[in-house]
Amino acid sequence: MRTKQVILAFWVLLVNVNVLFSQSNTTDSLSEKHTISGYIKESGSQEYLPMVSIYIPTSKVGTTTNDYGFFSLTIPEGTHELIISFVGYGTVKKTIELVDDIKLNIDMELSTESLDEVIIDADRGVNESQVTQMSVVTIKPSEIQDIPAILGEKDVIKALQLMPGIQRGNEGSAGFFVRGGTPDQNLIILDEAPVYNSNHLFGIFSVFNGDAIKSIETFKGGFPARFGGRLSSVLKIDTKNGNKERLTGKVNVGLISSSLLLEGPIKKGKTSFIFSGRRTYADLLSKPFQSSDFKAGFYFMDLNFKIHHVFNEKNKLYWSNYFGQDRFTGDEKSNGERFKTRLFWGNITSTLRWNHQFSDKFFSNTSLIFSNYNFGLKYDEKLNDNRFLFKLNSGINDYGIKADFDYYPNPQHSIRFGVASTYHNFVPKQSRLRATDEDNTDVKQEIKSIESAVYAEDNWKISNTLSFNPGVRVTHFNFKSKSYLNFEPRATIAWNIKPDLALKASYAKMNQYIHLLSNSGIGLPTDLWVSSTDKLKPQVSQQYAIGLAKDFFEEGYSITLEGYYKKMDDVISYKEGASFLLLEDLETGREIDWEENITTGEGWAYGAELLLRKKTGKLTGWLGYTLSWSERQFDELNQGRKFFSRYDRRHDLSLVGIYKPNDKITLSGSWVFSTGNNFNLPDREALSNTSNFPIPIGLFNTGGTTSFSTERNNFRGESYHRFDLGVQFHKKFAKNRERTWAFSVYNIYGRKNPFFYYFDDTQLKKVSILQFIPSINYTYKF
């Protein structure tokens, strides 16, 4: 099997390189060619713009800017008209006389979508039917600001959950499930750094506060070779670089949190910074009302800080930092006793990136990456002269280096290749115990591993109607003396049946070397990240997808229809009854092997997704529908029988509309409907199995009856639906100042969606949360 993959991968590369050079030689001989290269920036802020289309209608060739706003287009000499376009920005038309290689930096003006008629350009080159890539969802930060959100907390992941193929977990949860995968199978990268826990407050909010975000891309399949390490999705979030011209900012005051964004030049045109912070304040507000004997509080916060420096046109530096934390505090005092409890968890990421442009066709980015996730608890008890202090931590530290190269030899090929290596240091458990008259006890478990990869991919425009994106990623993982080497071939092909209609197909193989142990199903911070080891193999997936993409240029609509089949191997799960609590023998500090508590199996996910989207005009939005199945099979679970995964949902529908009749008002609404979740519900009762055993089982088992179920996820909950509505009133002042009042209601018709079920005597009870949650927000931009 592996030999076949290697042969396939090399064949793809060989054919690709061969064709590349033969083609460039042939065309080179026909006419002199020159390269137009440069950067596209936003006028005013000087923010680099990714995914901007640069297109020459007469010769029907074009390219798009990379993540850092760079483009390169090599075309025959002569007079050319360039059309530079990007949704939300005024299209720029430029005629150039090409007699030599030229540099072309262009500033694009932000257009007010609601008022200005956006030019619908069929040749734009970035429409759904015109890109090779499939199974990708892009969402603009401005759309996230417009979509109604729970308690007014604008949330990237909540917005993405409204897209087909990306499902929410339980009610209110910011965890997401892509094409039948699990949340740990999503690679979330913030400015190149992986983010391990994307949740605040047990998943009710995500850690991504939209203010500092520049672009959001989510890949559900057809993964480009530059991404790897997770089975199910890649969510790539890039933050803004900061305004290089003037100091600007935004203050937002909401019901549960407030945030501040500040950006501006440190040295005009050269160095900029951006800072954004958000903090909840329920703990501060409730403090005066709490008794002096017992004080409890909870808050979460996010801080983003980034500095961008332009040394010169060819060398740029980016230093991005994120710090986020949830913290629970509890303090009790009574009669000489004092108890202090702390629970905290959070991420820290830091990335230092250096852009270097070797030539007008060759661009590179080198990143040094640090990512940390830590969960901790602390219990401190003082009773007279006795002290008891217990600290428990688990977490992960990643130190990575990555170099990515973009090479644009001619308009037919955009080649990317690179190398990456990450040192993972997992700490499944670190505990510290100090007690009066007892020996100190310190326990630390560590797992150290190195994950590396090399990749190459080419976006190859074979003809005006056919494009092909082959790629290969070779990954290596090392744990102690055990090494895994895997080849991951990737390929996407797109055939334009008509200029606005494309048929696409893709294949991607992925390996995942790190795993999340979780049995809560709700993303508790106690979920534990662990590494592949000599006993625990990496998870593997192979995904096949086929789809149609159609654009209606005149009307501004696009429609995509995709079918996928994903097979997953060596996926992990806790064994029956295992949990974080049972992973350790606390008395002796001896490690009970966590590998003993998990089991591996197979997974199947398949389905179809439809997305009808309108990106321009006064009314924008989308209709998304997913029909899907997600199954698992583990030899040691459910008697070895296949079962539906918890969030296996047959139907999932979302309808999102944003209406901007003028620049003073934004109306938005979203309606979602989905099949209910699966629950493990012991729904039967029989005489207890403990009654004839000579040893009494538990203290509370009376030996009467035992409730049980015979199938995992045996109970399908009621279907889920809700309607959210939002309205924003904007008022503009001089000097680009603007204030916005935003009102929204989550679940406006108060649908009692199931959060969980339980039996109370002979009655099945449903607990519902989040019904009719109104909110108000005030935002001031300056």
Rounded to a whole number of angstroms, the minimum distance from the CB of residue 121 to other proteins is 45
**393 versus 666: smaller Cβ distance to other proteins:** 393
Rounded to a whole number of angstroms, the minimum distance from the CB of residue 750 to other proteins is 9
Q: How many CA atoms within 13 Å lie on the side-chain side of 756?
A: 9
Question: CB count, 10 Å around CB of 715?
Answer: 16
**201 versus 540: smaller Cβ distance to other proteins:** 201
Q: How far is residue 687's CA from residue 349's CA, in Å, rounded to a whole number?
A: 54
Q: How far is residue 306's CA from residue 167's CA, in Å, rounded to a whole number?
A: 31
Q: How many CA atoms within 13 Å lie on the side-chain side of 145?
A: 19
Q: Phi/psi zone of residue 736: left (φ > 0), alpha (ψ -120 to 50 degrees), beta?
A: left
Rounded to a whole number of angstroms, the minimum distance from the CB of residue 746 to other proteins is 9
**116 versus 596: smaller Cβ distance to other proteins:** 596
**78 versus 589: smaller Cβ distance to other proteins:** 589
Number of helices and strands in the chain (H, E): 4, 48
**The tokens of 387 are what?**
């002290």
**202 versus 423: smaller Cβ distance to other proteins:** 202
**309 versus 387: smaller Cβ distance to other proteins:** 387
126, 127, 132, 138 alpha-carbon torsion, rounded to 10°: 80
Q: Phi/psi zone of residue 701: left (φ > 0), alpha (ψ -120 to 50 degrees), beta?
A: beta
Phi, psi for residue 597 in degrees, rounded to 5: -95, 0
Phi, psi for residue 371 in degrees, rounded to 5: -140, 135
Q: How far is residue 41's CA from residue 242's CA, in Å, rounded to a whole number?
A: 12
Q: How far is residue 640's CA from residue 172's CA, in Å, rounded to a whole number?
A: 32
Q: How far is residue 622's CA from residue 557's CA, in Å, rounded to a whole number?
A: 9
Three-state secondary-structure class, residue 753: coil
**513 versus 529: smaller Cβ distance to other proteins:** 529
Q: How far is residue 244's CA from residue 20's CA, in Å, rounded to a whole number?
A: 39
**385 versus 587: smaller Cβ distance to other proteins:** 587
Rounded to a whole number of angstroms, the minimum distance from the CB of residue 393 to other proteins is 12
Q: Let me know: does 632 contact 678? Beta carbons within 8 Å.
A: no
**278 versus 429: smaller Cβ distance to other proteins:** 429
Rounded to a whole number of angstroms, the minimum distance from the CB of residue 762 to other proteins is 4
**93 versus 684: smaller Cβ distance to other proteins:** 684
Three-state secondary-structure class, residue 150: helix
Q: How many CA atoms within 13 Å lie on the side-chain side of 587?
A: 0
DSSP-assigned letter for residue 591: B
DSSP-assigned letter for residue 518: -
Rounded to a whole number of angstroms, the minimum distance from the CB of residue 760 to other proteins is 8
Residue 280: which H helix or E strand, with range?
strand 271-280
Rounded to a whole number of angstroms, the minimum distance from the CB of residue 398 to other proteins is 24
Q: How far is residue 206's CA from residue 334's CA, in Å, rounded to a whole number?
A: 37
Rounded to a whole number of angstroms, the minimum distance from the CB of residue 701 to other proteins is 5
Closest by alpha carbon to 56, among 82, 95, 92, 93?
82
**446 versus 576: smaller Cβ distance to other proteins:** 576
Burial 474-503 (b: 16+ CB within 10 A, else e): bbebbbeeeebebbbbbbbbbebeebbebe
Rounded to a whole number of angstroms, the minimum distance from the CB of residue 378 to other proteins is 8
**464 versus 520: smaller Cβ distance to other proteins:** 520
Report strand pairing: 665-674 vs 643-644: unpaired
Rounded to a whole number of angstroms, the minimum distance from the CB of residue 627 to other proteins is 22
**43 versus 341: smaller Cβ distance to other proteins:** 341
DSSP-assigned letter for residue 23: H
**117 versus 587: smaller Cβ distance to other proteins:** 587
**5 versus 430: smaller Cβ distance to other proteins:** 430
Closest by alpha carbon to 100, among 188, 34, 51, 164?
34
Three-state secondary-structure class, residue 263: strand
**29 versus 692: smaller Cβ distance to other proteins:** 692
Rounded to a whole number of angstroms, the minimum distance from the CB of residue 296 to other proteins is 9
Rounded to a whole number of angstroms, the minimum distance from the CB of residue 82 to other proteins is 52
Rounded to a whole number of angstroms, the minimum distance from the CB of residue 207 to other proteins is 17
Burial 73-92 (b: 16+ CB within 10 A, else e): bbbeeeebebbbbbbbbbbb
Q: Which residue has the tokens 């990737």?
A: 490
Closest by alpha carbon to 461, among 421, 420, 502, 518?
502
Report strand pairing: 651-662 vs 619-634: antiparallel
Q: How do the residues of the chain divide into helix, strand and coil, expressed in percent and rounded to 5?
A: 10, 60, 30
Rounded to a whole number of angstroms, the minimum distance from the CB of residue 778 to other proteins is 20
Rounded to a whole number of angstroms, the minimum distance from the CB of residue 132 to other proteins is 42
**553 versus 755: smaller Cβ distance to other proteins:** 755
Rounded to a whole number of angstroms, the minimum distance from the CB of residue 518 to other proteins is 10
**The tokens of 61 are what?**
């060739």
Rounded to a whole number of angstroms, the minimum distance from the CB of residue 357 to other proteins is 49
DSSP-assigned letter for residue 204: T
**The tokens of 767 are what?**
């607990």
Rounded to a whole number of angstroms, the minimum distance from the CB of residue 501 to other proteins is 44
Alpha carbon distances (Å) from 546 to 180, 491, 626, 761: 17, 12, 15, 50
**298 versus 673: smaller Cβ distance to other proteins:** 298
